[in-house]
Chain A
Amino acid sequence: MQLAVVGLNHNTAPVEVRETLAVAEAVLEELYGDILQNDRIYEAMVISTCNRVEYYIVTDDFLCNVDSVLKIIAEQCKIDRSILQKYTYIHCGEESVRHIFRVAGGLDSLVMGEPQIFGQVKDAFENSRKFGAAKTFIRKLEEFVIKTTKKVRTNTGIGDNPVSVSSAAVELASKIFGSLEDKHALVVGAGEMCEIACKHLRGADIGGITVTNRTFEKAEKLAAEVGGKAVPLDQFREELSHADIVLSSTGASGYMIEAADIKPVMIKRKHKPMFFIDIAVPRDIDPAVADIENAYVYDIDDLKAVVESNKKLRQKEAVKAMEYIETGVADFYRWVESMKIVPVIKALRESFDEKRMLELDRFCDKFKVADAGERRKLEYLLSAFMNKVLHTPLNNLKDLAPGKERYSLDEAVKIIFDLKE
């Protein structure tokens, strides 16, 4: 049995194709039913996010069965097979296991190292179990994926350095103020960028947010969304002395905040640091503000530079992450190899059990043992003896099964039965 994956993602397919193939939770039960109708597909799991749709199957004939999965997808999504084949990738065996580890660790994501995908992969495993599509292989795979991804996220900095403009701004604010819990932000503008930035600031547990905008209603709406207060645009300068962070993104043609506005504010604030984030083009904050002591001004280009540098850092961390993933894949395959011996162990036990019962019956007939209690005692004795005899060889078989070593017959017997030279 081996794992195979057929799927598409942001690198291989445009959004129109991805949205056509996206799997709604409502159809999952039916979909799993269709996939498992194929006798040669033993287990399955489907991951569907905005950037990827992937079908994982456990099968013994991957070429033939991947084809059947493609057929199901084409029928389900009413899409031509040739179009589907154009955008999909197929991995099999170790490569497919490596792929799921990479996906869960965020190494295959559009934003490298993003953490949400781990939750989505865990949900996919849970759904597979819920609809009876996960048995031994997928369940064990889930265990290894979770364990390895946790290691990746804990021991590498894959998710440490923010790679969006808003989160980079929040990181910079943390570098100035440490905790933002007792800090106040003044947001000038109520457009999309301000909205995203406000949410990031809220996520960083900022003490308070004041929103101002040319259209006061919009300011009120955004303030209500982020649990802040709104002030009319003509009054926002009065709020400056309370603001530790000033974020501006308006469509104004001139500067909204000039150096002359900030100098008296700084005296009023006893020179406590102020962080200005200017994400407007043309700029809202006079660059001369940066010349004032303890005022830090970052415009959109500065923040983009931070993002680019952080992306490079994440790339470096991805190399470290891959080391953990390779270890995870190797560990998982050791388990897979050890599983190959399970039918042999099972058959051996059954054969011994059969012989044990046969000998017991023969003994009871020969020596006329009719008492049920006596028979149970004999059965216990034989069973204990058999377990004792089988314990060492079965353990050795399990331990040695994943290894690649070759032994001669006499060597194998000596090793399995722990025989001394």
Chain B
Amino acid sequence: MHFDFALGAAILAFIHITLYLFLGSRYLQHLTNLFAVLAFLLFMGSIATHWKHFGHFPSYSLGDLFAMVSMTLTLIYLILFMKYRRPLLGLFIFPIVIILGALVLVLPSAAPKDAAGISSIWLLIHLPFTVIGTAFFMFATVASIMYFLQERELKRKNFGIIFKRFPPLNQIDRLTAVNLILGFYFFSVGLISGFVWMIYEPERIGSILPKMIFAVITWVIFGLITYLKKYRGMTPRSTAYSTLAGFISVVVTYAGVAFFLMG
């Protein structure tokens, strides 16, 4: 039940940020953030209820994972808003939260009968760090899209809603860079701890390997973008295209592998 309400709050946040884009009222911005806080608390409540019900942390199904990603995306949106005051990130993030949330409702979420909770400390590190890293990568992608749109308005000399409401190019670029660096840091820790966990539980390698391969691909793509951006002056447009490629890799890692390769 908590999850349904959380999804409802995320939908309301999305509706209000869309209205803010067109109307520009600060009240709509405040309402968006209010619903985002509500969504985060309800997502947390839902995970806690789930945990209590099964007696261990919900981390066995794709649905569980998507619920965690939804909660983390909402939390990072709120943290980034407090730091950078850029609510329009929500215009792109809330649809992702809503889609993931809808999938959670569709996907089976029951734990296997023999599940005994998270058995290894490495998995305990791997799971949140990977999820947080992924969430930051998603934000980097979103910021890149925003850059792309704002740049197009400036080049075309079109002074419409996007020009007026979207942040200045430099700020969007900085947001992309910050999200890339943070995403890379968290994802790296998550990936390394995942490898160590695999060493301790080699019998699981077979089922996890496809996911690990795609996770490494994602890590390499985002690592390369982070490096090129920071040290080689990668152009924002190239960054936008590259992060989109990285985002596709994230989607494949999470969904594609799970659906088609049974990882």
Residues of A within 8 A of B (CB): 172, 174-178, 269-273, 290, 293-294, 296, 298, 302, 305-306, 309
CB A240 to nearest CB in B, in angstroms, measures 16
Report whether B159 and A306 are in contact in the complex, using a CB–CB cutoff of 8 Å: yes
A178-B155 in contact given A271-B233, A271-B236, A272-B233 (Cβ < 8 Å) = no
A294-B236 in contact given A178-B171, A305-B157 (Cβ < 8 Å) = yes
* 19 A–B pairs (Cβ distance < 8 Å), ordered by A: A172-B154, A174-B168, A175-B150, A175-B154, A175-B168, A176-B170, A178-B167, A178-B170, A178-B171, A270-B233, A293-B235, A293-B237, A294-B151, A294-B237, A296-B154, A296-B155, A298-B157, A305-B157, A306-B159
Report whether A178 and B236 are in contact in the complex, using a CB–CB cutoff of 8 Å: no
CB B105 to nearest CB in A, in angstroms, measures 40
Question: Could you tell me the distance between the alpha carbons of A156 and B236 in the complex, rounded to whole angstroms?
Answer: 35
Q: Which residues of B contact A172 (CB under 8 A)?
A: 154
Question: Could you tell me the distance between the alpha carbons of A294 and B150 in the complex, rounded to whole angstroms?
Answer: 12
Report whether A273 and B170 are in contact in the complex, using a CB–CB cutoff of 8 Å: yes
Q: Which residues of B contact A175 (CB under 8 A)?
A: 150, 154, 163, 168-169
Having A176-B170, A177-B170, one finds 8 other A-B pairs with CB under 8 Å, namely: A175-B150, A175-B163, A269-B233, A270-B232, A271-B235, A296-B154, A296-B155, A306-B159
Q: Which residues of B contact A290 (CB under 8 A)?
A: 155
Question: Could you tell me the distance between the alpha carbons of A174 and B167 in the complex, rounded to whole angstroms?
Answer: 10
Question: Could you tell me the distance between the alpha carbons of A78 and B245 in the complex, rounded to whole angstroms?
Answer: 78
The answer to whether the Cβ of B196 comes within 8 Å of any Cβ in the partner chain is no
Chain B, range 48-64, C-beta contacts under 8 Å to A: none
CB B233 to nearest CB in A, in angstroms, measures 2
Partner of B157, one of A271, A272, A273, A302: A302
What are the 8 A-B residue pairs with the smallest beta carbon separation, nearest first?
A270-B233, A178-B168, A271-B235, A178-B171, A177-B170, A178-B170, A176-B169, A271-B233
Chain B interface mostly helix, strand, loop or mixed? helix
CB B201 to nearest CB in A, in angstroms, measures 45
CB A45 to nearest CB in B, in angstroms, measures 36
CB A293 to nearest CB in B, in angstroms, measures 5
Question: Could you tell me the distance between the alpha carbons of A172 and B155 in the complex, rounded to whole angstroms?
Answer: 11
The answer to whether the Cβ of B234 comes within 8 Å of any Cβ in the partner chain is yes
Minimum CB distance partner of B159 in chain A: A309
A176-B154 in contact given A273-B170, A309-B159 (Cβ < 8 Å) = yes
Report whether B235 and A294 are in contact in the complex, using a CB–CB cutoff of 8 Å: yes
Residues of B within 8 A of A (CB): 150-151, 154-155, 157, 159, 163, 167-171, 232-237
Q: Which residues of B contact A298 (CB under 8 A)?
A: 157
Q: Which residues of A contact B150 (CB under 8 A)?
A: 175
Q: Which residues of A contact B154 (CB under 8 A)?
A: 172, 175-176, 296
Q: Which residues of A contact B232 (CB under 8 A)?
A: 270
Question: Could you tell me the distance between the alpha carbons of A174 and B237 in the complex, rounded to whole angstroms?
Answer: 20
Report whether B234 and A273 are in contact in the complex, using a CB–CB cutoff of 8 Å: no
Q: Which residues of A contact B233 (CB under 8 A)?
A: 269-272
Minimum CB distance partner of B157 in chain A: A302
Q: Which residues of B contact A270 (CB under 8 A)?
A: 232-233
Q: Which residues of A contact B157 (CB under 8 A)?
A: 298, 302, 305
Report whether A177 and B236 are in contact in the complex, using a CB–CB cutoff of 8 Å: no
Minimum CB distance partner of A302 in chain B: B157
CB B171 to nearest CB in A, in angstroms, measures 5
Quick one: which of B151, B157, B168 has the most chain A CB within 10 A?
A: B157
Q: Which residues of B contact A296 (CB under 8 A)?
A: 154-155
Minimum CB distance partner of A173 in chain B: B168
CB A161 to nearest CB in B, in angstroms, measures 9
Minimum CB distance partner of A168 in chain B: B159
Question: Could you tell me the distance between the alpha carbons of A66 and B221 in the complex, rounded to whole angstroms?
Answer: 79
Report whether B168 and A177 are in contact in the complex, using a CB–CB cutoff of 8 Å: yes
A271-B159 in contact given A175-B169, A176-B168, A177-B168 (Cβ < 8 Å) = no
Minimum CB distance partner of B229 in chain A: A270
